[in-house]
Structure 1
Amino acid sequence: MKRFGWLILVLFVGFVGCDQNIVYKEYVDFEDGKWSVKNAPSFTFRIEDASIPYNIYYNLRNSLSYGYYNLYLTRYLRDSSGREIESRLDELLLMDPKTGEPNGDGLGDLFDHKVLIKRNYRFPKPGLYTIQIRQYMRQDPLLNVLSVGITVERANGASQ
């Protein structure tokens, strides 16, 4: 029984330790799994320390019924004044193009993807930042995409 208690403690510390680097994590759900081109979710977060690097990720949830192996997204990074710092078109590979095997973590028909946008990114200064995401596929609405979001984490080794 004593070993079981230690195992629970180790697992708890491991789970708590994993989330300490997360600065921001948010999702937006799409009604009926339909993502319209007009629906461009925005995610606003605060950076307290601009001297350390951050990793930024897309978070995406889709069903296995999603009709493509990839997903094109346009992202816009803006500072607190609304000035655009960066815009970029990204391709996310949701399934292996040759085998059709889904990427990401799956549970039943649903798959979650965490895709790196920027590694060791340094924000210009402390303050509020907004990332806006727009789907850039030919289908409108895009079916079987359940949610999209972002995660901003302190890069490994960055102090808190």
Structure 2
Amino acid sequence: MKNYLLLSSLLLLLVLSSCNKNRVFEKNEDLKDSAWKIADVKKFEFEIKDTSKKYNIYFNIRNAIFYEYYNLYVKHTLIGPDGKELSSNLHEMFLMDKKTGKPLGDGAGDIFDHQILALKDQQFSQPGTYTITLQQYMRRDPLPGIMAVGVRVDKQE
């Protein structure tokens, strides 16, 4: 009985601590064979209801230790509910320290997770479904060592 109560308490604590009232959207997609092809453009759709707030958009990257570069170039395109392009930009993200090669991000063994602020203070002018696409922009195709990519949208308080 004690073990059941302890397990239930730990599970409840985990659920409560993982809740984030500011998170509007978060989704990650695994990449086949832990390699990202240039033609494999990842598409994420999220709903914005409150246009009076500002939002932060993060890119989630999961890489394996065998990823050969210290950085990753990703191009984003943000499209509004009316189908018009709102922004498009090339982002350089650092996955490892340039000098030491030490992996950055949160790691467990040989896998590392990064959540990188890509669009800060994003204002959405109309409610509706927005689309953001991510495309790897490195010279290597496919790009081995990238295991998953994703997007997170948080409402600012």
Q: TM-score, normalised by structure 1?
A: 0.87
Question: 1:152: which partner in 2?
Answer: 153
The change in CA–CA distance for 1:36 and 1:10 in structure 2 (over 3 A counts) is closer
The aligned counterpart of 2:28 is 27
Aligned residue in 1 for 2:66: 65
Unaligned runs of 5+ in 2: none
Whole-angstrom distance in 2 between the partners of 1:48 and 1:11: 29
Q: Structure 1 regions of 5+ residues with no counterpart?
A: none
Measure how far apart 1:11 and its partner are. 4.3
Letter aligned with residue 15 of structure 1: S
- Alpha-carbon distance in 2 for matches of 1:54, 1:13: 24
TM-score normalised by L of structure 2: 0.89
Equivalence for 2:17: 15
Shift of 1:141: 0.2
1:135 aligns with 136
Give the fraction of aligned pairs with identical amino acids, expressed as a percent.
43
Give the corresponding residue for 1:46: 47
When the two chains are superposed, the root-mean-square deviation of aligned CA atoms in Å is 1.9
- CA distances 1:11-58 after superposition (whole Å, capped 9, x unpaired): 458615x42111100011111101110000000000000101111100
Residue-pair matches, total: 151
Task: State how far apart, in whole Å, the 2-side matches of 1:74 and 1:13 are.
Answer: 33
